[in-house]
Amino acid sequence: MAVEKREKGTAGAVSTVLAAQAAMIPYQESPAAYSAFWVLWVGSFLLVEGAALARQHPGDTFTENFRRWLQLQAVMRAPTTAGTIGLWATRGMVAVFGVWLTAHMALGMWGGGGL
């Protein structure tokens, strides 16, 4: 949806300005677009993770990269007090996220989409 407005200093020239709402696809108008995006996203993840598992080389899987990004392997090899606290905090956040995601997806809790 385009909104036309006359801008000051343009000597009456009409410029077409897209409204912020027009930049996004409303779900009610195009649920198929969102569905297609999520199918592609999950499919891409499964494809990349499947290839990584098939290669069986260290550092290929999402889990191994996640640990490297957060430097969890270094903390596990040479623990320090701060590192150990950080490691357990990260484990706690991942566990809480897992519980939330399971309840959200399976039961429609905490975030709409209820059954």
User: Mean pLDDT, the chain, as a whole number?
Assistant: 75
Two tokens at 89? 């905090």
Model confidence pLDDT, tens digit, residues 11-27: 443 344 344 444 555 55
Residue 91 has pLDDT above 80, yes or no: yes
pLDDT at 74: 77
Model confidence pLDDT, tens digit, residues 40-67: 999 999 999 999 999 989 889 998 888 8
Dist. CA 106–CA 112, nearest whole Å? 12
Query: Which segment, 6-10, 48-52, 62-66, 103-107, is predicted with the most confidence on average?
Result: 48-52
- Cα angle for residues 44, 45, 51 (degrees, 5° grid): 90
| pTM exceeds 0.85 | no
